[in-house]
A and B are shown apart, each in its own frame.
Chain A
Amino acid sequence: GENVEQHPSTLSVQEGDSAVIKCTYSDSASNYFPWYKQELGKGPQLIIDIRSNVGEKKDQRIAVTLNKTAKHFSLHITETQPEDSAVYFCAASGDWTGTASKLTFGTGTRLQVTL
């Protein structure tokens, strides 16, 4: 099955700096790579995703890059703000099968944005 590794486990940055979180996956058949953000006391929420036919995707201050050859993908947050403080999870999955395509999650990164 798929295995997703995520680094670092904790990350502290100053407000305004950039943050980068990296993930690697094992299954070359995976083609969908979402990122979820979990704020304190809440469930994870999708913030951005990328499919394997795209190398980069951007949404305001967040961007995701994908290197299929190396089987890794990264989340980039620019101009970090205190509200970016949360736990971030990467995930990977294969094709939709019509039953349920399972997402395999990374172990999470706790991002702390300090003033």
Chain B
Amino acid sequence: DVKVTQSSRYLVKRTGEKVFLECVQDMDHENMFWYRQDPGLGLRLIYFSYDVKMKEKGDIPEGYSVSREKKERFSLILESASTNQTSMYLCASLTGSSGANVLTFGAGSRLTVL
């Protein structure tokens, strides 16, 4: 079975701290994604990566950056955390090609910024 693992389920950070959210997939997938989930707003795409060292901005990239040094690992970085970045963060990996855009999600990382 396909697996996407997010290393931290719950984090509490202070305003201004640098935060790393790690995601690892075991399927040799090229495409990986970071979404943010907020009540009433659904899932919004922050960044995605279609290959090692390649990245593209999603719909809400401001305040975030990403790193993809190895194919299996995609990290989301908050350079200086702010309270409005308190949210659930979901990492996903893309299965299939040519029309089957099936995302496999991790269990999520709930970040609280105080």
Residues of A within 8 A of B (CB): 1, 6, 9, 31-32, 34, 36, 41-46, 49, 51, 89, 93, 95-96, 99-108
Contact = CB atoms under 8 A, between A and B. Distances in A.
B99 A51 contact: yes
B80 to A, nearest CB: 27
Interface string B36-51: 0000111111001110
Contacts, number: 67
B101 A42 contact: no
Contacts of B103: 36, 44, 46, 103
Contacts of B98: 96
A115 B25 CA distance: 38
- The size class of the interface chain B forms with chain A is 20 to 34
8 smallest beta-carbon distances between A and B, as pairs: A43-B105, A107-B42, A105-B43, A99-B50, A100-B50, A100-B31, A105-B42, A108-B42
A107 B40 contact: yes
Given A9-B40, A43-B90, A44-B90, A101 B101 contact: yes
B94 A43 contact: no
B107 A43 contact: yes
Contacts of A46: 102-103
Interface in B61-114: 90, 92, 94, 97-103, 105-108
A42 B107 contact: yes
B102 A89 contact: no
